[in-house]
Amino acid sequence: REERRRGDELAIEDALAHGVTTAQDNSDWQDFLIYEEMEREGKLHLRISEWLPFASPLPELKAHRAHHDANDLMLHTGMLKGFMDGSLGSRTAAMKQPYSDDPKNTGLPQYTQDRLNAMTMERAKAGFQIGFHAIGDRAVSMALDALSQPGVPVTARNRVEHAQVVDAADFAKFKKLGVIASMQPNHLITDVNWVTERIGPERAKGAYAWKRFLDVGVPLAFGTDYP
């Protein structure tokens, strides 16, 4: 616990040293309890919105949401983070067609569509904002399908995290569903060296497509993915 506290203190100090005053965090629940302790001591100087795991049981998610004052602007729980797939670098991002440099591989989706839809509906009805980690075009489509169900509010500011490769037909779905594209421009700095080899030139046209999102009126939220 002492090591966790020191690690959190160092991370917060690093953020503040770079002028970052507010962060969305995807750490463990035990870290949230550390932040809470720091706040009680008057030592929390970074505003934190803590994400909760989409895959956790709904009663646990409700209990964690109720644990702390939702109106506390310094510290509160935020959206649910769900993982649809892996990464392009490891060829585990879920793709609709095989990887150009690995023809037998289409990645590793983490849910069936039916299971994902059921969990999404259950959590949306409970009033949670949802953010899906989705890198490949298949993962992005699965996330949008889940968020397109009746009863999932378009006003919830639901998000697709990363959205690195998007099928041409799905850009309009983002707009229709009010889904935010939460992307990390710094990923392109490394991926540009191999992304065309990995997925081919045609699919690469729908990769890191910030301007295309803006052109169809989809809000962009840029972040760092910084550990």
pLDDT tens by residue, 120-129: 999 999 999 9
- Both tokens of 17, joined, read 């040293």
SS3 23: strand
Question: What's the pLDDT score for residue 226?
Answer: 84
- Per residue in 206-221, pLDDT (tens digit) is 999 999 999 999 999 9
**Considering only CA atoms, which of 206, 155, 163 is closest in space to residue 182?**
163
Could you report the average pLDDT of every consecutive run of 10 residues in the chain (227 residues)?
97 96 96 98 98 98 98 97 96 98 97 98 97 98 97 94 96 97 93 94 93 96 89
Question: What's the pLDDT score for residue 9?
Answer: 98
Query: Could you tell me which residues come within 8 angstroms of residue 227 by beta carbon, excluding any fewer than 6 positions away?
Result: none
d(CA 119, CA 55): 8
Question: What's the pLDDT score for residue 227?
Answer: 79
Long-range contacts of 24-32 (CB under 8 A, 24+ apart): 24/48, 24/49, 24/50, 24/51, 24/78, 24/79, 24/223, 25/49, 25/50, 25/51, 26/51, 26/81, 29/64, 30/1, 30/4, 31/4, 32/64, 32/68, 32/75, 32/77
Longest distance between any two alpha carbons in the chain, whole Å: 56
